[in-house]
């Protein structure tokens, strides 16, 4: 593997003084089965500096009444990947009892998806809004704005 070519020009004072803009992450969870935001879902943020680097826990939060996590910390400067892990089991368990036709004696013993995790690549200076659309037997994530 060869090193990337270096720019031979000396950096200007302005380039040297320019701060590296932080990478920020936000999310929200919508319960598409119930048709409303999913409040109280635990969210963990982890980062790593390359595809083979170990994950490092970086922050945690829970969704508010609007289903949003607005307080996740900015990512470290050298992060190249981020992971959001949503602890959906407690939320889906609470919702199961309130859904029409729900059975309290369900032999499966719990919810189908106890957690949802998504990994995405990040670059400096970008904001990543990564929503989770959740239902009891399916989910989808996407990059929002």
pLDDT digits (tens, 9 = 90+) for 60-96: 999 999 999 999 999 999 999 999 999 999 999 888 8
Q: In the prediction, which pLDDT does 3 show?
A: 45
Dmax over CA atoms of the chain, in Å, equals: 71
Domain ranges of the chain: 22-141
Residue 5 has pLDDT above 80, yes or no: no
Q: Where are the alpha helices (DSSP H) in the chain?
A: 13-17, 89-96
| Better pLDDT: 94 or 10 | 94
What CATH number belongs to 22-141? 2.60.40.180
pLDDT digits (tens, 9 = 90+) for 96-116: 865 544 444 455 557 889 999
């Amino acid at each position: 593997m060869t090193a990337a070519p270096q720019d031979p020009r000396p950096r200007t004072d302005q380039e040297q003084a320019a701060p590296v803009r932080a990478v920020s992450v936000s999310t929200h969870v919508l319960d598409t089965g119930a048709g409303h935001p999913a409040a109280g879902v635990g969210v963990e943020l982890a980062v790593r500096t390359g595809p083979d680097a170990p994950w490092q826990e970086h922050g945690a939060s829970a969704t508010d009444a609007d289903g949003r996590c607005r307080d996740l910390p900015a990512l470290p400067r050298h992060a190249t990947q981020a992971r959001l892990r949503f602890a959906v089991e407690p939320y889906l368990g609470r919702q199961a009892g309130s859904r029409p036709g729900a059975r309290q004696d369900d032999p499966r013993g719990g919810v189908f998806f106890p957690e949802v995790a998504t990994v995405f690549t990040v670059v400096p200076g970008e904001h990543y809004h990564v929503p989770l659309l959740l239902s009891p037997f399916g989910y989808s994530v996407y990059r929002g704005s």
